[in-house]
Amino acid sequence: MRQSTVLSLRAAVFVLAVFSKMYVRDTFSLRYSSKTQILLASVQMALSIAGLVVYQACLYVVSGINEGAKYKSMPDDDEMEFELEDIEPADAAVPKDAPREIEVIVFASASALRVYVRRIHLTAVLVWGTFYSIDMGDYEVLDYFVAGLFLGWVAHLLCTRPLSQVRTVSMSSTMYVLLCLGILAVNQPALKPSSLSDVLAVCVLPMVFGGAWMVWVDAHTVVEDTKSIFVTCTLLCGLVAATSDWGELRRMLASTRAVFVFVLVVEPLLKGLALSVLVVSVQKQQRKTMMLVFVTTYAMANLYQGITGAESGILFYCTVGMTTLLVAMQLVAALVSDCRGGAREDHGPVCAASEDAEHIQASSV
């Protein structure tokens, strides 16, 4: 049941992040432009970075105290049977001239260093864009972000194998592609951006951010890269905050205390948790699962909009059917994976090696 549990927890994080904002948006009539959404994402990211800095500072202080001198209970002055000079410090056994281990990173060339720095900056922009794209304040932004995830996954599926083996894509992957394509086609955004700036902010950028998670991000370095982006993200958030109009955001935050607490405290935590799940999914090379979670969450959000809007047309029932089938297929796949893992543990390493040999032979055929 491990795979099924992990899948449920991953889906619960994104469902909570999306539907909590939808509930607050509908309850308090939160409607704001994409420019305000960009500013809000920058403020939320800055608050998240500040929280991480405070957390790391607390860890540093606590670790410094733990690694310092060890205090022991000492007897009173009249009960001491030894001289103070006999007390040896804890690090007396360590030679003063002993070298200390220093972590050194060596790059093969100057071009390798430039590639690394460029990758860190682009990863920071991608993380900031994800904070902006998974916000349900502007409903159309999430639509194009999910479409970018889907297109990126299809491109990754086709580019990771030679053209002569494209036809060997499994039937399950083909069904996933058709169902996701059907959900995205049925639930197209109702509003179309008119100006060029809205097309860039609402359509192009979210789709690029979604596709980058599938095609551009490297699974082997994504965790280390996300640990090195805080300076770039802080500068980017400061630039956006300094060049944006704060009027609409001030009015929204001043409306009610509940909106203020949710927007500046609850939502940054949920977005940070969702971003962590996304990073771990890419690291574990579970791009398909991540894409399916986003697509089903997107479909559920559209179903929620249809229920609240009293819409019960054929498109609504098509979305229900395709979403149900998609979720059922993924749950069955997770259960099958759990059963195979349990069978390997029961039969020991000999059975596992034979299954791996069969898998290699089948793939070579």
Q: How far apart are CA 191 and CA 321, in angstroms?
A: 25
Instruction: Express the helix, strand and coil content of the chain in percent, nearest 5 each.
Output: 75, 0, 25
pLDDT digits (tens, 9 = 90+) for 228-267: 899 999 999 999 999 999 999 999 888 889 999 999 999 9
State residue 360's pLDDT score: 37
pLDDT above 90 for 125 = yes
Domain boundaries in the chain?
2-55+108-364
Within 266-313, where are the H helices?
Answer: 267-283, 287-308
pLDDT at 137 > cutoff 70: no
Cβ-Cβ contacts under 8 Å for 244 (sequence gap 6 or more): 35, 36, 38, 39, 42
At 173, the amino acid letter reads: S
Contacts of 36 (CB under 8 A, 6+ apart): 137, 244, 245, 248, 249, 252
Query: Hey, what amino acid is at 47?
Result: L
Q: For 22-64, what is each residue's pLDDT tens digit?
A: 888 888 888 888 888 899 999 999 999 999 889 889 988 888 7
Cα atoms in the 13 Å half-sphere on the side-chain side of 78 = 0
Contact between 43 and 322 under an 8 Å Cβ cutoff? The reply is: no
Q: Nearest-CA neighbor of 177 among 154, 146, 145? A: 154
The 10 Å CB-count burial string (b at 16+, else e) for 8-39 is eebbebbbebbeebbebbeeeebebebbbbbb
Please name the residues in contact with 278: beta carbons below 8 A apart, sequence gap of 6 or more.
130, 213, 290
For position 141, what pLDDT does the model report? 87
Q: Of 165 and 258, which is predicted with more confidence?
A: 258
pLDDT at 113 over 50: yes
